């Protein structure tokens, strides 16, 4: 039990669960037992059995058996996904064996596509589907975890180990250089901003739309791919109560190698060329003293997750209500995260023609704590203990000016206040009207509002001033979709479906920032800004809107030839009239070869379909007002002209206006094949694709001397090509065993085809303060969007190379960089592309092994061929603008005349930007492994429990990598695509062990 979870809440959760399950116990006259089997006489576990017109029911056990008490006048209803519902009158029977008939329609899994659903067998585009069944065995807290390694063509990176944060999802690579490459998230038909706070337990399925035929229906927002998230709905039948709880501990396992305090002191003496530390001081350090900062910063973190849901329904109504509480600490000190979510999905058949529904979702997240900086903190002086003999902080280093210039890295995290709250409301409703048998009119709409409050305070105790900040921001999305669907399916040889849609969306963003400083008391922290004598406020608002018209035709000829054509026209407020509207057409065909006699007769082939698609998709993934040069109004342009107080200033924009800006367009071709062999023992889905993005929304960098520093232009082209393979294998399936394995492999090659005058551009962030006037990454024609640049490091000038070193103004012991153009100087002309952060391929391999009640589920993921620029190591070697002395254990092997190593012992001007700090970031990790056992039976049934599952899970149990930093998966660049794979002060991923229970009442 978490010590922080209020007892009351804990108790009420259990009480609620108890009350709900006791309701489902009712009285009946006789016990009917039986067994449910499928068309192949295989037992069907988990089927619903209930008394018609009541809420009494049960589910079948692993061997398909069931037991229910009912009156002879009752009718039992049997239902199971993919099978036709069966009804049997009880009469005098005490045993009822049921053989369920497959439902042709649902056996061909229905998948959600843009603005509708379709049979999987009717798909003409490329789509990856992940259903709850595939991930529900793992204790997940976020939806991105559910996607990771499970969908081909989808790259999910955990960019940070911080609680409640840090995933990056890319579908088939990055198209855009300046624009956002995150996919579009559509939650139950509503386009939502982000999916961080979603409760993964509410998700029924996620469909990832990858090719143009699937995404072009989303027009200007589809180019990065679309993830359709469908939440769970109640099913007709008695109330089903599900309760889940898990608790876990996490640790940072990989640690970095440091020198001991005494070794550090010797290193300082070496670097300074004089005796900073006396031999006596060094001896004292050798005998103890100093500090191990790494041990101070990391800790074992506890987490708890409670999940409770109730679902059910009748002929007229169904409901799904779910609540979740997730509470976790960080593995870095003083990082806490808590999330509450609540969902209620309700559908009602208001009349024979009218169906309405409402999905509501609320979440509240709290994250608190001031994170210690792993860059500045781990490199702080190890000879100064965190606390002095009296238990007070040693604020500064005992020897002035060693390590780096910060204050004791524990002071901030242990004294500063940070409380951040995120609230989300997502409401989406629809009304469906059957105008006639073939024509359906659907109006839907929704609101997604996200509010964020970030509060912080640095007390007087830390900086003698007191700085408070309150930052409130909100994003409100309003959407309305009106759809007419015409279906003509009376002749099975000619099935036609036409959709016509009008959609509109409005997004408004607001922010308000208030800061105050010079407090005289720490008592109220950020809660009363008026206590600070200097106060500033800043606010901002912007809006963007979109109007869309779209149409789609699906036509199936003889159930063999499938055609889909769609077109969408989007008008965006981000562009000026004249450039505002974009049209995005697509078309695709599929041929179900399995329906052809010449294939049908080959008994080994159980499914064969080939697909081809082509289409145009757009992107407008830039901020509002990107076409305009907006003057700067902010405290940063004010000045005390009259001495003392500021005069308010208005400065010209740092952006050059470009009224001609318009859509970025991606043309995508996809060829795919779906194959099933030996009665679907082996299934293979292979897709080859080629994407070319033109008219890139490119933030071109202007030289600072022209004034404005950036202009967004439609220039350049980027290509992505590759393949996605999804291989499913039913290894073993019999009464006792069920072993399934799925392997996904994705390969994407990204290449920049054209830029402004084909000159390389730099767009990445600076990661180490002002360390690089040159960015470590750049965008270059012929290379992937993000490629690393730097000098080529050739080790250290040795004693016998003194003459050569002298030519470059260097001496033995200095770093040796390659003079690429042989001009006798090492200048920026010798900077070259030395690697890139894009993997050659990524893969995920999921295994699910069930033996009777036992289940083992594990997921291996990997990435091959990506480089990482390890600037964390660079700083630990004492380099960069913020660091004075080395702390890394490598420094022990520094070059000296007696130790002719290849680790430079002096500092020059190039320092970090070289291949010395480039490393191979390939890895293979056991992402998760869950081992569980299900319990069913009379004993449990007597207390109302139809199913109980206990499991033990481990995340990131091992990682195989040559990478020398904490973690090859996390990155400082977060969601950025122009500077992939930079490691600096990143929060490493944790190894977690979780113990959990799921109970179904």
Considering only residues 676 through 715, tell me which ones interact with other proteins, judged by CB under 8 A.
701-708
Q: Is 400 exposed, middle or buried (0-12, 13-18, 19+ CB in 10 A)?
A: exposed
Judged by CB under 8 A, does residue 913 bind other proteins?
Answer: yes
Nearest-5° Cα angle at 157, 154 to 160: 160
The residue count for binding other proteins (CB under 8 A) is 115
**Rounded CA separation 745/843 (Å):** 4
Among 512, 637, 686, 892, binds other proteins (CB under 8 A): 637
Binding to other proteins in span 341-360, by CB under 8 A: 350-354
Contact status: 502 vs other proteins (CB under 8 A): yes
Query: Is 521 near other proteins (CB under 8 A)?
Result: no
Cβ proximity to other proteins: between 598 and 705 the closer is 705
Minimum CB distance to other proteins, residue 182 (Å): 23
Residue 761 within binding range of other proteins, rule CB under 8 A: yes
Q: Does 317 bind other proteins (CB under 8 A)?
A: no
389 SS3 class: coil
Sign of torsion over alpha carbons 573, 574, 579, 584:
negative
Q: Kindly identify the residues of this chain, within the stretch 32-61, that bind other proteins according to CB under 8 A.
A: none
Q: Which two tokens stand for residue 62?
A: 């692993």
Candidates 247-255, 372-380, 476-484, 966-974; binding stretch for other proteins (CB under 8 A): 476-484
Q: How many CB atoms lie within 10 A of CB 934?
A: 19
Q: Is 907 in the site for other proteins (CB under 8 A)?
A: yes
The contacts of residue 83 (CB under 8 Å, 6+ apart) are: 38, 44, 47, 100, 101, 102, 103, 106, 107
What's the CA gap between 934 and 134, in Å, rounded?
16
Site for other proteins in 778-837 (CB under 8 A): 809, 824-829, 831
Among the listed residues 41, 315, 597, 757, the single contact to other proteins using CB under 8 A: 757
Shortest distance, CB of residue 210 to other proteins, whole angstroms? 29
Residue 109 or 275: which CB sits closer to other proteins?
275
Between CA 791 and CA 772 the distance in angstroms is 13
The sheet carrying 98-99 orders its strands as: 65-70, 30-37, 98-99
461 sits near other proteins (criterion: CB under 8 A): yes
In this structure, is the dihedral angle defined by the CA atoms of residues 74, 78, 311 and 449, taken in order, positive or negative? negative
Q: Judged by CB under 8 A, which of 770, 898, 939, 942 binds other proteins?
A: 770
- According to CB under 8 A, which one of 885, 927, 949, 964 is a site residue for other proteins? 885
For the bound state, the minimum distance from the C-beta of residue 420 to other proteins, rounded and expressed in Å, comes to 24
In whole angstroms, give the CA distance from residue 122 to residue 655.
48
Beta carbon of residue 471, minimum distance to other proteins (angstroms, whole number) = 18
Of 110-118, 848-856, 905-913, 959-967, the window that binds other proteins (rule: CB under 8 A) is: 905-913
Distance CA 920, CA 13 (A): 48
Minimum distance, C-beta of residue 763 to other proteins, in the bound complex (Å): 11
- Is position 407 an interface residue for other proteins (rule: CB under 8 A)? yes
Q: Which of 601, 640, 939, 942 binds other proteins (CB under 8 A)?
A: 640
Select 54 or 524, whichever has its Cβ closest to other proteins. Answer: 524
Of 523, 599, 632, 960, the one binding other proteins by CB under 8 A: 632
Q: Which helix (H) or strand (E) holds 364?
A: strand 354-368
| Contact call for residue 774 and other proteins (CB under 8 A) | yes
**Contact positions with other proteins (CB under 8 A) in 609-628:** 624-625, 628
List CB contacts of 24: < 8 A, sequence separation 6 or more.
55, 56, 57, 238, 239, 241, 944, 1001
773 binds other proteins per the rule CB under 8 A: yes
Q: What mask of x and - would describe binding to other proteins in positions 232 to 271, judged by CB under 8 A? A: ---------------------------------------x
Which residues ranging from 550 to 589 are in contact with other proteins (CB under 8 A)? 571-574, 580
> Per rule CB under 8 A, is residue 882 in the interface with other proteins?
yes
Task: Give Cβ neighbours of residue 269 (< 8 Å, ≥ 6 apart).
Answer: 275, 276, 277
Shortest distance, CB of residue 708 to other proteins, whole angstroms?
Answer: 7
In sign, the C-alpha dihedral spanning 374, 375, 378, 383 is negative
Task: Please identify, using beta-carbon distances, which residue of 814 and 919 lies nearer to other proteins.
Answer: 814
Tokens standing for residue 285: 């350090």
Q: Is 11 in the site for other proteins (CB under 8 A)?
A: no
Number of other CB atoms surrounding residue 823 within 10 Å: 10
Can you list the pairs that 518-524 forms with residues at least 24 positions away whose Cβ atoms lie under 8 Å? 518/465, 518/466, 519/459, 519/460, 519/465, 519/466, 519/467, 519/468, 520/460, 520/466, 521/460, 521/466, 522/457, 522/459, 522/460, 522/461, 522/466
Can you tell me which of 46, 405, 551, 975 binds other proteins, judged by CB under 8 A?
405
Coil, strand or helix at 120: helix
The span of 157-165, 303-311, 633-641, 678-686 binding other proteins (CB under 8 A) equals 633-641
Q: Which residues from 644-683 bind other proteins, rule CB under 8 A?
A: 644-652, 656
């Amino acid at each position: 039990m978490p010590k922080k979870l209020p007892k009351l809440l804990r108790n009420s959760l259990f009480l609620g669960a108890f009350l709900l399950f006791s309701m489902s116990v009712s009285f009946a006259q006789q016990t009917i037992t039986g067994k449910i089997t499928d068309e192949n006489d295989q037992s069907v576990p988990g089927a619903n059995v209930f008394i018609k017109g009541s809420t009494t029911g049960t589910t079948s056990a692993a061997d398909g058996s069931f037991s229910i008490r009912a009156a002879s006048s009752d009718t039992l209803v049997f239902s199971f996904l993919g099978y036709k519902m069966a009804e049997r009158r009880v009469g005098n029977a005490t045993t009822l064996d049921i053989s369920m008939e497959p439902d042709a329609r649902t056996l061909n899994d229905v998948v959600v596509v843009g603005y509708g659903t379709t049979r999987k067998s009717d798909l003409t585009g490329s789509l990856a589907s992940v259903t709850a069944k595939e991930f529900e065995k793992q204790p997940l807290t976020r939806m991105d975890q559910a996607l990771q390694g499970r969908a081909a063509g989808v790259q999910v990176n955990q960019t940070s180990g911080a609680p409640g944060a840090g995933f990056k999802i890319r579908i088939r690579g990055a198209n855009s250089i300046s624009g956002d490459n995150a996919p579009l998230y559509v939650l139950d038909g509503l386009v939502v901003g982000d999916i961080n706070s979603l409760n993964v337990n509410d998700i029924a399925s996620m469909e990832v739309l990858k090719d143009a035929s699937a995404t072009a229906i989303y027009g200007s927002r589809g180019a990065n791919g679309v993830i359709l998230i469908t939440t769970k709905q109640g099913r007709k039948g008695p109330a089903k109560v599900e309760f889940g709880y898990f608790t876990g501990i996490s640790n940072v396992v990989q640690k970095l190698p440091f020198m001991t305090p005494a070794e550090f002191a010797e290193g300082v003496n070496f670097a300074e060329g004089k005796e900073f530390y006396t031999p006596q001081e060094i001896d004292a350090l050798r005998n103890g003293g100093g500090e191990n900062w790494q041990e101070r910063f990391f800790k074992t973190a506890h987490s708890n997750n409670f999940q409770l849901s109730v679902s059910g329904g009748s002929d007229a109504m169904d409901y799904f209500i779910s609540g979740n509480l997730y509470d976790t600490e960080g593995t870095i000190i003083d990082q806490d995260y808590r999330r509450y979510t609540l969902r209620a999905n309700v559908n009602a058949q208001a009349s024979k023609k009218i169906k309405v529904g409402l999905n509501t979702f609320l979440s509240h997240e709290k994250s608190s704590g001031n994170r210690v900086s792993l860059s500045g903190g781990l490199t702080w002086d190890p000879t100064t203990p965190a606390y002095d003999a009296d238990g007070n902080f040693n604020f500064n280093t005992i020897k002035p000016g060693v390590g780096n210039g910060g204050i004791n890295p524990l002071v901030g995290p242990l004294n500063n206040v940070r409380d951040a709250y995120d609230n989300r409301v997502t409401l989406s409703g629809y009304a469906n009207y059957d105008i006639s048998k073939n024509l359906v009119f659907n109006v839907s709409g929704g609101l997604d509002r996200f509010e964020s409050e970030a509060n912080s305070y640095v007390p007087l105790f830390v900086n003698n001033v007191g700085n408070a900040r309150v930052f409130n921001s909100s994003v409100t999305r309003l959407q309305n979709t009106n759809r007419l669907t015409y279906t003509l399916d009376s002749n099975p040889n000619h099935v036609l479906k036409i959709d016509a849609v009008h959609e509109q969306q409005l997004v408004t963003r607001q922010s308000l920032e208030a800061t105050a400083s010079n407090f005289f008391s720490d008592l109220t922290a950020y809660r009363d800004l008026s206590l600070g004598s200097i106060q500033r406020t800043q606010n901002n608002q912007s809006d963007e809107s979109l109007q869309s018209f779209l149409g789609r035709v699906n036509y199936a000829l003889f159930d063999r030839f499938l055609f889909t054509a769609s077109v969408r026209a989007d008008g965006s407020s981000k562009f000026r009239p004249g450039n505002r509207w974009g049209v995005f057409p697509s078309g695709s065909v599929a041929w179900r070869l399995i329906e052809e006699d010449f294939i049908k007769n080959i008994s080994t082939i159980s499914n064969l379909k080939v697909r081809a698609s082509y289409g145009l998709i757009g992107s407008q993934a830039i901020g509002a007002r990107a076409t305009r040069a907006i003057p700067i109004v902010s405290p940063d342009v004010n000045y005390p002209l009259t001495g003392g107080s500021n005069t308010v200033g208005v400065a010209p924009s740092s952006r050059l206006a470009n009224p001609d800006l318009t859509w970025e367009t991606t043309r995508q071709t996809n060829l795919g094949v779906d194959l099933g062999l030996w009665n679907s023992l082996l299934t293979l889905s292979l897709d080859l694709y080629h994407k070319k993005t033109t008219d890139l929304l490119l933030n071109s960098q202007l030289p600072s001397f022209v004034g404005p520093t950036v202009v967004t232009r439609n220039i350049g082209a980027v290509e992505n090509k590759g393949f996605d393979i999804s291989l499913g294998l039913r290894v073993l399936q019999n009464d006792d065993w069920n072993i399934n394995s799925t392997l996904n492999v994705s390969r994407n090659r990204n290449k920049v085809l054209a830029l402004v005058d084909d000159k390389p551009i730099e767009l990445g962030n600076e990661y180490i303060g002002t360390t690089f006037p040159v960015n470590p990454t750049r965008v270059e024609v012929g290379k992937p969007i993000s490629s690393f640049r730097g000098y080529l490091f050739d080790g250290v000038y040795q004693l016998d190379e003194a003459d050569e070193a002298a030519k470059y103004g260097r001496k033995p012991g200095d770093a040796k960089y390659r003079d690429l153009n042989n001009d006798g100087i090492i200048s920026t002309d010798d900077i070259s592309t030395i690697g890139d952060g894009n993997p050659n391929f990524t893969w995920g391999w999921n295994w699910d092994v069930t033996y009777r009640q036992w289940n083992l589920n594990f997921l291996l993921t990997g990435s091959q061929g990506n480089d990482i620029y390890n600037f964390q190591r660079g700083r630990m070697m004492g380099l960069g603008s913020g660091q004075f002395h080395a702390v890394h254990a490598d420094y022990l092997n520094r070059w000296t005349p007696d130790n002719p190593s290849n680790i430079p012992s002096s500092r020059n001007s190039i320092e970090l930007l070289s291949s010395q700090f480039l490393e191979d970031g390939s890895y293979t990790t056991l992402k998760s492994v869950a081992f569980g056992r299900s319990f069913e039976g009379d004993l449990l049934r007597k207390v109302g429990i139809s199913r109980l599952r206990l499991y033990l899970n481990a995340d990131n149990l091992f990682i195989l990598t040559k990478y020398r930093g904490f973690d090859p998966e996390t990155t400082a660049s977060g969601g950025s695509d122009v500077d992939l794979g930079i490691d600096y002060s990143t929060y490493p991923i944790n190894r977690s062990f979780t113990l959990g229970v799921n109970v179904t009442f």
